[in-house]
Amino acid sequence: MVGSLPAAPLALDEVEEAERQFGVVFPEEYREFLLTVSAGGDAKTNRLTRTSEGWGWVGDDRTDLARLAEPFRDRAEIQRLWDELEPREPSRDYEPAEWQAWDDECGVVYDLETVGALYMWTDGINDAWLVISGPLAGTMWLDMRPTSDVVVPIKAEDGRVMRFSEWHLADDTTWWDRIRRGE
């Protein structure tokens, strides 16, 4: 659970077993963190642990573990899906069944926004995600949909998308300020 005492690092065979279960290879920096620093459980990470049901992250009810191996979607693809749905919205008052079907389609696209990523941290409203699968693996993203309907990259001062280690060690107010300024 985020915010508890961090756990000891995992052994290589444990990390590999978890990776096999999820059908992924963890991004290099996160893998190194699990092997040399901690299995998680600090202020910014959930603890990766094995239970009788297999591997999972303590306190993580956000990550779609069954779809962790799917590539994290390009934001242009996600925007295209929203752009196709938006003009088809039926009247909620006059066509409730059609509206519900449309809303269900929106739910599918909403869920796609974080497929292939692992929930890391929350400020109580917005969530930080580590991309596990696809071309963006290893990068950090902020799910701001509760407040502004977007999932945005967490950027370093030089404009690059932060990678796990950089984000984990960063002063949160610095990258938050950049996001608030639209950088």
Neighbours of 50 (CB within 10 A): 14
Please tell me whether residues 106 and 117 are part of one structural domain.
Answer: no
Number of domains in the chain: 2
Please tell me whether residues 87 and 39 are part of one structural domain.
Answer: no
Is 6 contained in some domain? no
pLDDT for res 94? 76
Q: Is 28 helix (H, G, I), strand (E, B) or coil?
A: helix
pLDDT for res 83? 94
pLDDT for res 170? 85
Nearest residue to 27 via CA among 166, 170, 164, 168: 164
Please tell me whether residues 56 and 120 are part of one structural domain.
Answer: yes
Higher pLDDT, 83 or 5: 83
Pairwise CA distance, residues 34 & 159, whole Å: 27
pLDDT for res 4? 58
Please tell me whether residues 81 and 161 are part of one structural domain.
Answer: no
- Give the pLDDT mean for 63-74: 97
Please tell me whether residues 147 and 80 are part of one structural domain.
Answer: no
Domain carrying residue 159: 12-71+113-180
Please tell me whether residues 130 and 81 are part of one structural domain.
Answer: no
When pLDDT is cut at 50, 70 and 90, the band that residue 2 belongs to is low
Is 166 contained in some domain? yes
Nearest residue to 175 via CA among 134, 144, 136: 144
Q: What is the pTM of this model?
A: 0.90
- Give the pLDDT mean for 27-48: 94
Q: What's the helix, strand, coil split of the chain in %, to 5?
A: 40, 15, 45
